[in-house]
Amino acid sequence: MMVGVVVACSSVSSIKALWETRIRRRREEHEEEHKRRTTRGGATGRLGVGLWEDRAALARLKQKLETEDGRLVLRIEQEEWKVLPGCLIQLSQVQEWQIHRTGLLKIPHFISSFQNLLVLDLSRNGVAEIPKQIGKLTRLRELLLSYNRIPFVPAELSGCESLERLELAMNRDLNELPDQLGTLSRLQHVDLSMNDFSCLPACLLALPALEWLDMGGNCLHHLPEDIHRMEVLHTLWLQRNELEKLPENITRMRSLDTLVLSSNRLRDIPPLMEGMSSLRFVNFRDNPLTLDVTLPSRKAVAEEEEEEDDREMFGKEFMLMYIQEARKRAYAVLNVHCVNQSDGESNDESSA
């Protein structure tokens, strides 16, 4: 009887162990399946979130579209857009970007997809690089990147063959331009003010259509002797530099209408500038000129006050008077020298 009980108990224990093993295996399999489902669901969830974010960003960008003068313009002002999303490429028909004060850090490489782009205005951001892909924008007319952090301009920019206006003011470390830019035959307007240029970039002299140039607030020590190669230039801003003299050939710039030279280190004014008939506006204020010349006073009647202000501002009358005074003093010195020489000869004859 005891033997039967022992056998029965042993059978029950074996069956229990078998079922526990099966239950444990089923539980492990269930946990693994649940884990796999969770992993797949997470990836799908992340993908879904990415798609949702792209759709939201695209919808937000579409709200920034405007039509001005028949152009489709993307305008973003004073909103945080440090990086432009890839979904922007779906708006490649846009002809003008106006993105200011957004903290934008870079121009996306997919910029080359915007073949209809005519104006790219990203001034007052944090852009630190012009991508080489920008050279594929053959229809681009205006590239405005003032008040950014650009230290270098790629040679590929010369591929923008329709470029008419280039503004790179206040990028601080910018101090040179590639020679290849001299092939931009339509470039008329260049602003390089408040940078770190120590000389006029050679490519500027080769631009056949250049009419307006601002290089104020740089570190220019001299101007090129062949500056007259800029034949159609009518406006030249050179204020707040370190120029000590002007090249004689500046008088051969027949189209020059406006010349601003205030706050430099000029000691004299080239006499031949007297014959620059096209020069209308000139300013020599705050230069250590050798001669102290003052314009003759005029009667301060009310109707002449505006004219008096114009005389002071334009400075052409001052320039002409300075040249005349310099010529008078040169003649006076020459006469004194001639008199002294003549007296010396007379004394020699008397002694003989």
Report how far apart, in Å, the C-alpha atoms of 193 and of each of 56, 64, 117, 242 are.
39, 31, 25, 14
Position 244 in a domain: no
Position 33 in a domain: no
Domain that holds residue 85: 58-175
Alpha carbon 97 to chain centroid distance? 15
Q: CATH no. for residue 89?
A: 3.80.10.10
Position 78 in a domain: yes
Position 169 in a domain: yes
Number of domains in the chain: 1
Position 252 in a domain: no
Show the tokens assigned to 17: 């162990």
* Alpha-helix residue ranges (DSSP H) falling in the chain: 2-62, 202-205, 305-314, 316-351
The three-class DSSP label of residue 160 is coil
Instruction: Give the per-residue pLDDT at 315.
Output: 86
Instruction: Give the per-residue pLDDT at 8.
Output: 45
Q: What is the DSSP letter of 79?
A: S
pLDDT < 50 stretches in the chain: 1-9, 39, 41-47, 301-302, 308, 313
Show the tokens assigned to 244: 């000590």
Position 84 in a domain: yes
Q: Among 180, 204, 205, 209, which residue's Cα sits nearest to residue 192?
A: 204
Instruction: Give the per-residue pLDDT at 297.
Output: 76
Instruction: Give the per-residue pLDDT at 34.
Output: 61
Position 26 in a domain: no
Instruction: Give the per-residue pLDDT at 33.
Output: 64
Position 75 in a domain: yes
